Amino acid sequence: MSEYTIGHLIQRKHSELLEDFNPLFTGHLNEHWTLFFMKDTSFKKKVPDSIYQISNTVPVLHFDHAEDHGWSYEIISNGISKAHFDYNYELEEISLHQMALDRYPKEDPVELLYTNPDFEGVRSQLLTELHQNPAYQEQLQQLFQNCHVEQFTLFEVSPEQIEQLKQIMTQKHLDQLDFMHDLVDQFKEILNLQKMSWISPERLEDDEFDLEL
């Protein structure tokens, strides 16, 4: 079973402001962050309309992480998206699959890339070509175009934390990681969001949230 996490966060000192919006759930991650869900919080609609309304009163950080698929965040303030990042873990495999179809149209791409020993080495060759492909590199660069980590100052994140975010939220840093999942772990550690794991409205009945209510 893979992790599915989704939630909205504000500074804890502003948590009382949520009462006017009738949240489905409110809990404190730590001394800095308060987590909440709205009735329209759902993976099907990543940032609910209610969040834009709340953001006219207090800035909101939306965060989601689907372990097998990717993770994203969005900073909303005064009804406007100030920063957005969305990393699809499957980007490489989707691109590789398309390369296999284009290069070997008569072969089954699954056998070609994963299962048939007769094609040993083909995946490695195509993967090397993919990473050297300017169009693919452009896609990776676009991942970080709107991450605007300086907007975390809206949550009184320290200059030191902002600088740390600037160091990791780049394509160069992503390329140096041993595992693609490392980026989200580093992001959460910098912002003290480690508890944002296995959290979603669907898990409210599990009684497993280690949060202060």
* 119 phi/psi in degrees, rounded to 5: -105, 25
What angle, rounded to 10 degrees, do the helices at 134-143 and 91-103 form?
160
- Where are the domains positioned within the chain? 4-88+180-206, 92-131
Distance CA 184, CA 200 (A): 17
**Which residues lie below 8 Å from residue 118, measured CB to CB, with a gap of 6+?**
none
Helix, strand, coil percentages (3-state) for the chain, rounded to 5, are 45, 20, 35
pLDDT block averages, 10 residues each, the chain of length 213: 88 96 94 95 81 97 92 97 94 87 85 79 86 85 94 98 97 89 96 94 69 65
- Is residue 36 a contact partner of residue 18, using CB atoms and an 8 Å limit? yes
Report strand pairing: 25-28 vs 4-11. unpaired
> What is the reported pLDDT for 210?
63
Distance CA 47, CA 62 (A): 7
pTM of structure: 0.86
* 25 phi/psi in degrees, rounded to 5: -155, 145
